[in-house]
Amino acid sequence: MITLNTRRWLYGATVGLVAITMTGHMASAQQASSSQAKQATFNKDVMPILQRACQNCHRPGSIAPMSLLTYKDARPWAKSIQNKVANREMPPWFIDKTIGVQKFKGDPSLSDEEIGTIVSWVAAGAPEGRPADLPPAATFDDLNKWHIGKPDLIVPLPVEWKVPVAAPDQWPDLYTDSGLKEDRYIKSIEFKPGSSAGFRVIHHAHNYLLPPESDNDADPLNSSGEETLNEYAVGKGGDIFPAGTGRLMKAGSRIHFNLHYHAVGEEISDRGELGIVFYPKGEVPTHILHTVNMGNMQTDLDIPANGVTRTDGYYHFDSPVKIASFQPHMHDRGKRECIEAIYPSNQREMLNCATFNFGWALIYNYAEDAAPILPAGSFLHIINWHDNTASNKGNPDPRNWVGSGNRTIDEMSFAWVNYYDLSKDEYDKEVAVRRAARTKGSTQNQ
C-alpha cells in the first residue's frame, strides 16, 4: 500500500532518453509573475485568459456551474478561480507538468505566465481596470460541436435510449448498419451524446467495428471479427489520428455500441452519435492505427477501505511502435495514472503522469514530433492509484472494500492507448532525427 504523500514523487525522475521521447520540464506558476502581472486588471489581463480557456464552459446554458463572461460574474469567484488555476484543476488538463512529454495536440492548459497573472490579480484585490481595456466579447462553440471537425459520416444509435428517474445502471449492446457504401480509411473518430442532457447519463460508450462478413451480434462477448473504434467517457473529445495513420472501414460494415447509462434523478432520453472523418477516396494511409486496452487489472483489483492502492499492468510490443495517445480509465476512486516505457535493455523512462478526474476522461493526443517511439521488445507499464479514503471528495463511501466491476461504484484500472507499428528503418530514422534535434537544441542553449 502507498500513501498519498509519497505517490506523487515516486516517478519524478526519468532515465532521460530524450532522443526518443523529448521530455520537458516547466517552472512553477509562482515563479512566472512579472512586474506587469503584479499590476494585472480584469479587463486588460484576466479577461483574455478567461475568453481563451474558460468561458466556453463557464457561460449560461453550458456545463460549468457559474458564468465568467463579465467582471460582475467573475469577481465573487476570484479566490476560487485562483485556487483552481494555481493547482491546475482548471481548465481540465491533468498532465503533470514536471514529468515526461509535454507536447500535445489541443492542450488547453494555462501557461505559467497566465497562472501568475491570475494569482497576482487576486492578490491585488481583483481590480476591474479601465473599461477601454476590455476586449470584444468572445464567440463560442456549439455545445454539441464535433471536436474532430465536420464528420463525413454520422452513425446514430439505432434507437433513442430512455434512462428512468431511478434505476440500476444499464449496459445495452446496440447494433446498426453504418450506411457506408465503399471502403474508406478513417482519419479521426468521435462519439458524443446527442443532446446536452445526454452528457449527464452516459458514463461511457465502447464503439466497435464489425466487418460485413461478421454476422454474430447475438452475444457481445463473442462477436466475431470486432475491432475497437474508440471509447467515449465523460468529458472526452475525439480521437485524432496522427498524419499518415488510419483504420480501414469496409463497405457494409456495422457498428456495435456498448453503452453504460446511469440514472440521475430525472428521466432523460438520448440518442448518441458516432462521427467519422475519412481520408479522401482512394487514399491509403501509411500506417494502421491500433486502439488497445492496456494494463488491464480488472480481475485483480483489491482496494481496501480507507486506503490508497497501486496497481501495475504491462503490454508488450513485438515491433517498434509510436504511441499516438493515451486515455486513463478508472472510476470514482481513481486518482492518478503514470505510463512508463521499459526498454529491452531494462532501462525505464517515465513518459507521462496525469491526475485522474472522473468528471473529465480526457484523451491526451501527442504532438507528432514528440510522441514516444519504442523499440521492438519494449513494454508499456501502466501504473494506477485508487484513493478509497475520505479525502477523496468523489468517493461514495470510504468504509467499503472495492473490487472490479462495470458499475460506477465499482472500479477499473487501465489505459486506452492508440499506437502504430514502425519498420526498423522508420524507427532508426526517427531516433536519428530526434537526436539531431536534441543536439541542436543543446548547442543553441549554450
Q: pLDDT tens, 256-285?
A: 999 988 888 889 888 999 999 999 999 999
Q: What is the pLDDT of residue 415?
A: 93
Question: Which residue reads 526498423 in cell numbers?
Answer: 424
The rounded percent of the chain whose pLDDT value lies above 90 is: 57
3-state secondary structure 12-60: CCCCCCHHHHCCCCCCCHHHHCCHHHHCCCHHHHHHHHHHHHCCCCCCC
Residue scoring higher pLDDT (405 or 215): 405
Strands (E), 262-318: 268-270, 273-278, 287-288, 290-294, 302-303, 307-316
Give per-residue pLDDT as tens, 28-39: 444 444 444 458
Q: What is the pLDDT of residue 409?
A: 84
78-86 helix and 112-123 helix, angle to the nearest 10 degrees: 150
With CA atoms as reference, report the closest residue to 126 among 187, 158, 81. 81
Same topology, domains 153-285 and 291-429? Answer is: yes
Domain boundaries, the chain: 27-133, 153-285, 291-429
Q: Place 4 in a pLDDT band, splitting at 50, 70 and 90.
A: very low
Give per-residue pLDDT as tens, 278-315: 999 999 999 999 988 898 876 678 999 999 999 999 99
Lowest mean pLDDT among 46-60, 196-210, 347-361, 430-444: 430-444
Cell of 77: 469567484
Q: Which CATH class is domain 153-285?
A: mainly beta
Q: Would you tell me which CATH number, out of the four given (3.30.420.40, 3.30.830.10, 2.40.110.20, 2.60.120.230), belongs to the domain 291-429?
A: 2.60.120.230
Using DSSP, state whether 199 is helix, strand or coil.
Answer: helix
Using DSSP, state whether 356 is helix, strand or coil.
Answer: coil
